[in-house]
Each structure stands twice: as structure tokens, then as C-alpha cells.
Structure 1
Amino acid sequence: MEIRCSVAGRLLGPLCCGLFLFVLLLLEGSAVFQAYAVDVEVRDDSNVTCLYAKWMMNLSIIYESELNEYKSTALMLPDSVSYDGSSCGNEASGPVLAIEFGEGHLWSISFTKTENTYQGSISFTYNTNDTVLFPDAKRKGQITTFANYPSRPIELDTVFICHNVDSVEADNVTQDLWNVTLQAFLNEGSLSNMMTQCDKDMAPSVPAAPVTAAITTDADSTNSTTESNAIRTFPPLPTPEPGEKPATGIYSVKNGTTDCLLASMGLQLNITGKYSLLMNIDPNTTTASGHCGSTTAVLNLKDTNCEIDFLFAVRNTSSERFYLKEMNITVFDSTNGTQFSGNDNLSYWDTSLGNSYMCRKEETLVVAPSYKVNVFDLKIQPFAVKEGQYSTAEDCSQDVDNFFVPIMVGAALAGLVALVLMALFVGRQARRNAGYEQL
């Protein structure tokens, strides 16, 4: 068995064969992750390609901490990985691409076929003993999730194509894949000139203007390359008109069949710097998910182009109050790559436990200097929801009132002191004038 990168992959350098290549950048003090394309082929002992894979991918995991809080982490793969376990299979099993990395993490995809179709199965094992990714995980050890990919069987001798984001969710793991080119059980090691597009690309199996890819049959041989004349990308990121207010979305998270988190708000992403974006979140295309716990709650809002995570926590004091502790923002953009920023040290929307928080005015949540979220017409309750209804709301305008009252009291006291001093001054002047008249 041999694993090689195709022409596009070799241009990345000697470590190009890593299944996932992420570059960690620091942008104005916040963590920003950039995902890059993968270009890998698996060959048998005869140097014939049995599996070709090219895609971009993000991994995110939600785990429970020792304080019973739900936290999210974005997985970054190192440049150096092990391919032990990868093979072209045999008569009983199909090709497998296995990647081992870090402290006991393993991602693999194996393929099976029927008379007319083939399909992959992803197995992802992450190790919560990795203190870098999971510094305070309550559950220790390796956790494995399974999911089919593609979600439906693909016709044999066709290339699977998916340019839009295709999410694979299993338990607490979300894998977002896009710009996918994939074929297993290649005929004589060559990519097919037929393609099957994913449901997200909204196209049936059609004869292909062949796929952009290169399969090499020998290290020194001439590459056989096929090119596409109809490559699709992400839908363009919508840009609101100046002054356009985002529509208000109504979201909820359920614990079984019961609502445990309620939210109503309009959201607008405002990203500045080298990567700039102003985008209203469309509630009509946004789905809500999350978790509810006794001390933490998570609201995940996901659209075609972006994903926003809100993590609420109960303060570890006797005051019995909750607040917005953490936010993570992911933007999918085929031009600039995937952008990510997060902050787990926020302190917004402080509210008494058992109440909801409401704010009709525009608020700006600063996740990082270049990553902000403008919030409109907010009403949120992440804890103690009863019968699917909001409890008594604490209004953000009270914050203004709380400052206004002491200011007015201080002003009144200052005025009173001024009047007393003035009265003393007038009285002294009057006594002084009376003395002059007697003389």
C-alpha cells in the first residue's frame, strides 16, 4: 500500500499528504483558523490507485467539563500524521484511508460496495486525555463516533462531487466538508468521467465535464489530468444594504420534547481587518441546536455560510445569576477559506437565574477585536424555562436606570450643598452690612 498526493498536493511541500492541513494564525489577539484543501490517493502494491480524495474540512467537538459545563473545541491536525491502517483492502473489504495524529486521535474512512454502488463510513476517535484540546473534560479516554459519508450510496465508476458545505453530525461531533472530490474502487486507477453531485449541490448524476484532479501512475510518469468547466462554489456571502436591520429569528433548544432554552433575536456579523464581512443572519435558513445543563447551556445557530455558538453559564457565586460566557464564530467562504474566532472569557447579558434577559436596543458583542456580532431585539432564557414560556424579563435599560439614579441623587446633593453655602454667604454679608450702619 502506498499513499501519495496528486499534482495539487505536491505543490504544498513535503508534508502535503496530511489528510487535513490547518494553519493557526493569530489575528489581533484572537485565534483564527484557516482550512486548506486535501489531495490524497491510496495505491495498492501494484502502484494502482484505488482511492482518490480531495476536500476541505472542519471538525468541532462539544464536551462536558468537570464543572458540568458544555464547551466546544475546534480540532487542529498537525502536519505530521501516521497513515497506519490505510490500504486498498481485499476481496472481503474495500479501501481505507486512516489517519492517526496527536495523543490518540484517529480519523478514517472505509468504503464498501454493492453490485452498482459504493459508500464510505467515517470513524472518528478523539481522546479527551489530550489536555490541550480538552483541558477539563469530565469523561476521560477515547470516544468514537460513526457516520456514513456520502449520506447516500454513489453509483460505481462515478466521482462524487460536493462543492457546498455538507455537514456530518454524530453525537457531539460536527464535521463540515466542502469542495469534495471523491472516488473509491477506481477502474484501472483512473478517475471516471461521470460524476454524482451531492444533494447540497442540487444536481442528479450527469455526464461530467471531467473533474479537476490528477492521478499519477508512477512517480516519474506524465500525469493524466482531467479538468472541469463547471466548478461551483459556495453561494455568495450576502451583504446587507447600509442600515438594513437583520430579521428577528425565533430559536429554541429542547431537552427531549420540552423546550429548555428560548431565544429571539436579529443577528449581524461584523468582521473587519484583512478579511472583512458585514452579513445579516437569515432566520429562514438558520437551524438551531444545542444542549441544556444545570450550570451551562449551549445554543448553536447554523446557516449555509456561517455558524455561531453561544455558551451560557451560571456564575459560581451565591448570587444565582447566569451570563453569556463564550462565543464561537465560523464563516465558510471558498474564496478566503474558513474563518474561525472564539472567546471563552465573555461577560454579557448578566441576569438573575430564573428570569429572561431582554434588550430592544442594538448591542454589540465583541468576540475579538476584528470579530463582532450586532444583536437586535433580543430576548433570551437559557435556564429554568417552564412550559415553553419566557419568565419575567430583566431589561437592559435597567442598566441605564441604575446609573441614572445615583447620578441624579449626587446632583441633588451637590445642589443642596451649593444652596447651603450660598445661604451662609448671604447671611454673613447681611450681618456685615448691619454693622456698618451702626457705625
Structure 2
Amino acid sequence: MGQIVLTSKSSLLLLLVSIPGVLLQRQESSSHPPLRPAEAQIYQPALQPSESIPPIGTYMLRNQAGEPCVKVTLGVEYIVVEKMKSWYFSMDPTRVGTSGYCTNNLAVLSLMLPHSSAGLQFTFMKEKKTFYVQQLEAHISPQPICEKCANKTYVGLLAQKKLFVTSDGQSFKCASETLLVLSPQLKIKLVPLQMQAFSLPRGAYGTELECWADYNKRVIPIVIGAVVVGLLLIAMLTFLFIKDRRTQDYERL
């Protein structure tokens, strides 16, 4: 008469209450793990008042057959112009996500930072035996440059262009700075730069096509040196000629 009869359900409930850690563990295992503070916050690029050398990343895009169709190696620096002052941000390759697609004559490569806070998109076109970048888009949504400043997204576009024209099977390479003005408030600096699209056997770069800036840096010192040597030779020959004429005049006297 004084005994308490327990059903199966009440026995289970009593067991869980007596072991509090069991119920807590079962609830946590059925939900996603909590985000770390750094992951829970929205990533925003931090603009800097001075320039820095951007880190270099290599990005590969493959077609539906799994073959490499676009390869780009570059460092990217965003230049934001706000209130007549320039601010800078270098893209971190370790945070970049790559996406895009390739067809026979068209390829699109997108480089995106977390939460679409900054992005750069190349549109490649193939025309006969050459390829080039027809369109370049960029955007950046940085942290406000002052405490009371509002969030702002800077957008720029170069469309219907023929940038970095290169023969099929070759790669365009430029170690010098490539500065592109996409809008009055947004510029993109690519340094260094190497790219190849469509024909990319085994994912390796083909013969390098040197950009004009690199060519001028290499050739102009040679030309200047040759001009200086030529002027020195002319001056020396002129001096010898005048000296020889004076010697002949002395002999006549």
C-alpha cells in the first residue's frame, strides 16, 4: 500500500532528472554548434590611409569537363576616394572564394571576400586567335572611415574594353603596377599580374607576353645608355678631328 508504482515513462523522466548532464548533452547534439565571435560578425574590409604591397594569390577556374580554363595570379589593391582623400585595402588571398564558368568563347572569373564585402570579376572573351578581358567589375563595402560615417558600397565597372590582349596559348604578364580607374571613387591596382584563359594545357602558363610597362622599363635604360655612349663617341671623334686639324696647321707654318 505504501509503495509507489513507476511507469516506464515516469522512470525515464526520473532518470534524466537525476542525471542533469544527460539531458543537456542530448539537446546540444541536436543543434548546430554556436558560432565563434569572429564568425558571427559580418566581415568588412578595413581601409588604410597608406598603401601596402598586396599579397599575391593564384586562382584557377575549370570547365564542365574539369579542365583548367582560366588561371590568374595577382595581388589586388582597392583604392577608395572619399572626400578628396585616398584610402587603401589589399585583398587577402586566404579569404577569397572563387567562382565562375567557361564556354568556348566566354569565361567569367569572380573573386569574392566573405559576405560579399568585396569582389572582383573578370569577363574573358576569345576572338579568333586571341583572348582579352572585355569587362572588369569591382565593389567593396568597407568599414566606415569615421565613427559617424554611414556604411557605403563603392562600385566600379570597365565594360566593352580590350584589356590584356594576348595570343591564344600565351599568358599575359606584367610585373609593373596596373592601375585601372573603374569610377571616380574606386580604382583597382593589380600588381603583379599574370593571366591566361581558354587554352591552358595541364593548368600551366604558356609563353609570357610582356606588358608595355615592363618592356619600357627594360628597354628605355638600354636606349638611354646607347644614346649616351653614342654622344661620347661623337664627342671623342670630334675632339680627335679638331686636334688633327690643328696639328696639320702647325706643320704648314
- TM-score, normalisation: structure 1: 0.40
> 1:140-151 maps to which residues of 2 (within 5 A)?
none
Identity %: 21
Decide which structure has the larger Cα Rg and report it: 2
> Could you say which residue in structure 1 is the equivalent of 2:6?
none
One-letter amino acid matched to 2:205: Y
Residue 356 of structure 1 deviates from its aligned partner by: 1.6
Q: Considering fraction of residues, name the structure with more helix.
A: 2
Equivalent pair of 1:292/1:382 in contact (CA under 8 Å): no
The secondary structure found in structure 2 opposite 1:373 is strand
Report how many aligned residue pairs link the two structures.
205
What runs of 5+ residues in structure 2 fail to find an aligned partner?
1-31, 144-149
Residue 383 of structure 1 deviates from its aligned partner by: 3.3
Higher relative contact order (CA 8 A, sep 6+): 2
> Could you say which residue in structure 2 is the equivalent of 1:284?
94
d(CA) in 2 for partners of 1:241, 1:369: 18
Q: Are 1:255 and 2:63 matched, yes or no?
A: yes
d(CA) in 2 for partners of 1:246, 1:322: 26
Q: Are 1:236 and 2:44 matched, yes or no?
A: yes
> Could you say which residue in structure 2 is the equivalent of 1:366?
181
Deviations 1:301-340 (A, max 9, x none): 1223112122344577xxx554444321122358344321
d(CA) in 2 for partners of 1:386, 1:281: 28
The secondary structure found in structure 2 opposite 1:387 is helix
Residue 281 of structure 1 deviates from its aligned partner by: 1.3
d(CA) in 1 for partners of 2:161, 2:220: 22
Residue 268 of structure 1 deviates from its aligned partner by: 1.4
Equivalent pair of 1:330/1:341 in contact (CA under 8 Å): yes
The secondary structure found in structure 2 opposite 1:402 is helix
Equivalent pair of 1:238/1:280 in contact (CA under 8 Å): no
> 1:117-128 maps to which residues of 2 (within 5 A)?
none
- TM-score, normalisation: structure 2: 0.64
> 1:102-113 maps to which residues of 2 (within 5 A)?
none
> Could you say which residue in structure 2 is the equivalent of 1:343?
158
Equivalent pair of 2:154/2:185 in contact (CA under 8 Å): no
Q: Label 1:425 to 1:301 Cα distance change in 2 as closer, same or farther (>3 A).
A: same
Equivalent pair of 1:240/1:280 in contact (CA under 8 Å): no
d(CA) in 1 for partners of 2:238, 2:140: 63
Q: Considering fraction of residues, name the structure with more strand.
A: 1
d(CA) in 2 for partners of 1:361, 1:278: 18
What runs of 5+ residues in structure 1 fail to find an aligned partner?
1-198, 204-231
Q: Are 1:308 and 2:120 matched, yes or no?
A: yes
Deviations 1:173-219 (A, max 9, x none): xxxxxxxxxxxxxxxxxxxxxxxxxx9xx79xxxxxxxxxxxxxxxx
Residue 422 of structure 1 deviates from its aligned partner by: 2.9
Q: Which of residues 119, 132, 136 is equivalent to 1:327?
A: 136
Residue 270 of structure 1 deviates from its aligned partner by: 0.8
